[in-house]
Amino acid sequence: MRSSADRARPPDKMVKRRQTLFLIALACAIPRIAAFALWPVDTGTLYYALATSLAQDHRFAIDGESTTYIEPLYPALLAGLQLIFGDNPVALLLVQIAVACAAGMVLFALTRDQTGDERSAWAAALLYAASPYLIRQSVSFMEVTMTIALLIAATWRIRAIATASQAAMIGILLAGIVLTRASLAPVVVCGLILVARRDGAARALVAAAMLAACVGPWMIFSRTTQGAVLPARIGENLFVSTSALAEPIVPRYNVDLLMPLVEDIAHAEMTRRGVPDRLAERDRLLLELTADYIRAAPLRALGLKLRNLAYIFQPRLLPFYERRGMATLMDGRVQIPEQGRRPFVFEAAAAGYQTLLIAAAVAGIATRRRRLRDDAFLLIVAGSVIAVNAIFFPTSRLLAPMTFVWMFYAGAVVPLITSAKLAEDRFDGASH
């Protein structure tokens, strides 16, 4: 008869699973902890400024002025951590590293469940653990780590929605995604459509209701504060990527080089028209100027977007240079000051890694071509990110949310390689 201790002991399979998850967490943590030695902690981001304002003054504000220019979830989470740990950037980054490690474990579970192969899951998780760019972002006060974690979790949970509570959880995760990065709204909309088609209208309505309950208050606050329900930078981002100013800049250089010129153009035009100098009005004006450029030069505008699309699939970090100074106009031409180069070692490591990742992912997509319907949400994520980057401007930061999709498909090719190697070994053994 088994003792109470024996009955309490988890089965071998459970022990093995816990050991596996621990090893994955460790593989994700070691390079991210090591990154502290390479990069100093930088608190000079808008996200950290918003978090500090929220924690200390209980306002979404920068320099005392309320703003909804930046999505609220990531700074709100940082503010919550500041209330617990104080203004301690190292402690906050350690929590962020823990989030990154948890995302690696969920990616393992997602890949294992989706492919039915633990070798694929290991490959995807280790690719995630070793990504130079994601390692760098995990020790930066930017939203990339949180965005990817939410997308991985949503992809995992959306696979099977059997109850209303599971549908509500999907709604919360989709809300978290759009409240962390508004440009991922197409992922959210297409995700709801997928739930409706696959799991029924009732489940989709529950998810949509939870999404609206989470996002609605922020949209109301944004409308009241800035005069727009979405972050008032759509027109700005389109103008800096779809205008005569953008032609020598995007996507090789940082579009922020153009911001002083954009400010001057917007201010002068708003003054001429007598339009109130509000952020939402400024954004609408820039959207109108972008539309004027497209109507006047449709082929040039199309060329910019096709160039964006081509750059999305090249392996180097985008933009190619770190911004130094600001662009100026001289005789109607944009003058770009000499830009900074990243450390060669990091640049080479990131480019080499991305080359291998994309090549393996393409092979993985080919191996799963008959199961792409099962991968619908993964394809939604990749397609939405590619489309948004092509329409606006591609950067490694904006492309990062879909890297876990490449990792999934790169992992999916591992069984094929293993099977081919085993077949080769058997053939060699038989011939001898």
Tell me the per-residue pLDDT of 27-64, one tens digit each, with 9 for 90 and over. 999 999 999 888 999 999 999 999 999 999 999 988 88
Question: Which of 107, 92, 106, 84 lies closest to 139 in space, CA to CA?
Answer: 92
Give percent of the chain with pLDDT exceeding 90: 81
DSSP element (H, E) containing 386: helix 376-391
Residues 389-407: what's their mean pLDDT? 97
The DSSP code sequence of 322-364 is: B--S--EEETTEEE-PPPBPPPHHHHHHHHHHHHHHHHHHHHH
Model confidence at 6: pLDDT above 60: no
Return d(Cα 307, Cα 79) in angstroms, integer: 39
Residues 238-257: what's their mean pLDDT? 96
Tell me the per-residue pLDDT of 193-213, one tens digit each, with 9 for 90 and over. 999 999 999 999 999 999 999
Is residue 62 classed as helix, strand or coil in its secondary structure? strand
AA identity, residue 147: T
pLDDT attached to residue 3: 46
Report the mean per-residue pLDDT for the chain: 92
- The position carrying tokens 């988890």 is 10
AA identity, residue 252: R
* pTM of structure: 0.93
Residues 325-352: what's their mean pLDDT? 94
Tell me the per-residue pLDDT of 93-106, one tens digit each, with 9 for 90 and over. 999 999 999 999 99
Residue 260 or 431, more confident: 260
Question: Which of 335, 316, 321 lies closest to 261 in space, CA to CA?
Answer: 335
